[in-house]
Amino acid sequence: MNAGKTSGGRYMKRKVVNVAMLVLSGASAAFGLFWLFWILGILVRRGAPALNWAFFTQLPTPPGMAGGGLANAIVGTLMLTVLATAMGVPVGLMAGTYLAEFGRQTTLGRVVRFVADVMTSAPSIVIGVFVYAILVQPMRGFSGFAGAVALAVIMIPVVVRTTEEMLKLVPNALRESALALGAPYWKVVFRICYRRVFGGLTTGILLAIARVSGETAPLLFTSLNNPYWNFDFTKPMGTLNVTLFNYAMSPYDDWRSKAWGAALLITLGVLCTTVIARLVVSRTQIGRS
Amino acid sequence: MAEASPGTTENQRPSRKAPAPWGDILFKGSTTAFAVLVLALIGTICVVLYSKGHLAISTYGFKFLWNTAWDPVREDFGALPSIFGTVVSSLLAILIATPISIGIAVFLTEMAPPWLQKPVGLGVEMLAAVPSIIYGMWGLFIFAPIMARTVQPWLKSTLGFLPLFQGIPMGIGMLTAAIILAIMIIPFIASVARDVFSLVPAMAKESAYGLGATTWEVIRGVVIPHTRSGLVGAVFLGLGRALGETMAVTFVIGNAHRISASLLNPSNTIASTLANEFSEATSPLYISSLIELGLILFLITTTILALAKFMLWRIEAQVKGMPR
């Protein structure tokens, strides 16, 4: 009788603890999403009013003067991202191909995989310092090119790892059947393996682009900033991110409101790219496997 | 793999020769070269940072690490306040983020109904995709004022006897920076924790359930002990991220080169010092000192991240050797 009661009590206690812990875990998930929605909500509320036609078409005004836009910075960001992608993606694709096709068991493969993993999370500001030291100092000036190099360095490890992961998904039977038909190995990889995981590779590249288009730290002392139109990669180049940093820190209300507009624009760009990347990969994975 | 047959086929039909292997030699050579390039990159970063920071290293020696001065006018530079701020803000962020991240991972793997897993998982991933500078701006204009008005005065009135919570509640400072860092690293820790949780063999969990364990008992008794080194790896990964985080911290930490016991006071991190001062530094010694700071940050974060990687490898190897 008595024993039954205590075991019933213990059972209740176990159940209560269980429910309490599960509620706590649900609460932490809600906690994470709470910040996301708070930040996004604020961005839309403060940023949307700043996004007008002039924002996309005009140059910045001098400090304190209302009006104007950030057209040059928008174009600058796009130019830097395109150049960085053109430099970083081929390197990442090739190195990732090595890891998947030749380096699965080799020492070089293991070391490169390890280094790429570490570099993915390495502080981007240090990459900025590095590029400053190798490009800005010797060339005696800040330049858009230096900024693009910094972004490319950040992209490379991301592309390396996703390329490898994707190529590893290609079944060996496919490689072997192509080789058995007499195709040289490079053709097997480029024409068959790449095509098989095209969606996955695209995702990797898009994620790398999303990653760098939100980066500000490595641009602060490489591409610097420029309030005018500039299509010359050897000169300082305005970007949305650095402009946002300068404007947000300024005492002018008009600049701050533009900073919110820039913040909304950057976040929309990054989040949309991320979502598209996810959609591409989930569609191809489901379609093929 | 194709070694067995070619001898005979070649003898029978000499006209059907395999094409010259130049394409494949070139293919292997060039991909290897790019792999080596990635390797060379990290080496070059170390060498360049060391050589450009050499002026400061030879001027101050090891004293740089514990000197608390930062005086560009007298050219007296020390890294201790920045290192202190970096380490304290990151550890505080880890303290806040770890339980929440594990909670999220538990929710996503063991608890959420399937229709909820995907949107919540995506939401957490979005949290990781929001750029650092957005966190910083939101922190400075929205979060810091709230901290100054409500949270910090409350902390002062209830826990103000501790040296941790003294000073003026300004909103910006160590505590605000740490909370924002925590929000930023939660998605990273949570996603790695979720991955290692899903490595636990279903058999082990089902055995525990079969013995009558509750969900929480399965998590505490089977899942967490099984994945301990993976969880440590996840936390280290978060720590590595937090140590190098720049823009968000630069906005809210207050940028003061001093060491203070109070979490309400403005402080500094290596990354925020670099972001604030690098483009304005003029004298060679000043620039060199900043580059040495960058080298220190790079060495600390790569060490932490390497440890994280090592822990995660261990758990993967462990799981592979087990029946599923």
What average pLDDT does the segment A242-263 reach?
Answer: 91
- Taken in order B51, B55, B61, B62, is the CA torsion positive or negative? negative
The mean of the pLDDT values for chain A is 90
CB B95 within 8 A of CB B248: no
pLDDT in tens, A96-105: 999 999 998 8
Query: CA of A168 to nearest chain B CA: how many angstroms apart?
Result: 16
pLDDT tens column, A106-157: 999 999 999 999 999 999 999 999 999 999 999 888 999 999 999 999 999 9
Contacts of residue B61, Cβ cutoff 8 Å, sequence gap at least 6? none
Q: Quick one: pLDDT at residue B164?
A: 83
* Residues of chain B where predicted confidence (pLDDT) is lower than 70: 1-20, 321-324
Give the DSSP H or E segment for A237.
none
Residue with tokens 């909500």: A41
Angle between helices B270-277 and A124-131 (to 10 degrees): 40
* Cα B151 from Cα B263, distance rounded (Å): 12
Cβ contacts of B2 on chain A, cutoff 8 Å: 179-180
Contacts of B59 (CB under 8 A, 6+ apart): B285, B288
Interface with chain B: mutation pick from A126, A185, A223, A226, highest number of B CBs within 10 Å = A126
**A window 174-233, beta carbon within 8 A of B:** 176, 179-180, 182, 184-187, 189, 210, 214-217, 220-221, 224
Phi, psi dihedral angles at B76 (to 5 degrees): -115, 105
Q: Which residues of A touch B135 (CB under 8 A)?
A: 39
The single-letter DSSP state of residue B205 is H
Measured in angstroms, the CA of A182 and the nearest CA of chain B are apart by 7
pLDDT at A288 over 90: no
Q: How far apart are CA A44 and CA A67, in angstroms?
A: 20
3-state secondary structure (DSSP) of residue B25: helix
Token digits of residue B217:
């008992």
pLDDT of residue A282: 66
Residues A79, A151 contacting (CB under 8 angstroms):
no
pLDDT attached to residue A67: 82
Dist CA B177 CA B267 (whole Å): 9
Q: Please answer yes or no on whether A32 and B38 come within 8 Å at the CB atom.
A: no
Q: Verify whether the Cβ–Cβ distance A125 to B271 is below 8 Å.
A: yes
In A194-207, which positions are buried (b, 16+ CB within 10 angstroms) versus exposed (e)? Answer: bebbebbbbbbbbb
Q: What is the DSSP string of A37-60?
A: HHHHHHHHHHHGGG-SHHHHHSPP
Q: How close B13 gets to chain A, by Cα (Å)? A: 14
- The 8-class DSSP code of residue B173 comes to S
> Which residues of B fall within a CB distance of 8 Å from A14?
214, 217
Tell if the CB–CB gap between A245 and B247 is shorter than 8 Å: yes
The 10s digit of each residue's pLDDT in A69-95 is 899 999 999 999 999 999 999 999 999
pLDDT confidence of residue B322? 62
- Chain B contact for A106 (CB, 8 A cutoff): no
Q: Which residue of B has its CA nearest to A100?
A: B31
**Rounded-to-integer distance, Cα A275 and Cα A284, Å:** 14
CB nearest A270 (choices: B42, B48, B131): B131
Tokens of A152: 């490319």
pLDDT at B4 (0 to 100): 44
- What is the value of ipTM here, to two decimals? 0.91
Tokens of B16: 């059907």
pLDDT tens, residue by residue, B41-77: 999 999 999 999 999 999 998 899 988 989 888 889 9
Contact list, B100 vs chain A (CB under 8 Å): 28, 31-32
DSSP-derived secondary structure letter, B20:
P
State phi, psi for B2 to the nearest 5 degrees: -95, 10
Interface contact flag, A184 B52, Cβ < 8 Å: no
Chain centre distance of CA A271: 9
Give me the pLDDT at residue A66, please.
Answer: 79
Closest chain A residue by Cα to residue B16: A182
Query: Is residue A35 predicted with pLDDT exceeding 50?
Result: yes
- Compute the distance between CA of residue A99 and CA of residue A160 in angstroms, rounded to an integer: 8
Report yes or no: B315 and B232 within 8 Å, Cβ to Cβ.
no
CB atoms < 10 A from the CB of B283, how many? 10
**Is there a contact between A32 and B190 if contact means CB atoms under 8 Å apart?**
yes
Residue B5, number of CB atoms within 10 A of its CB: 9
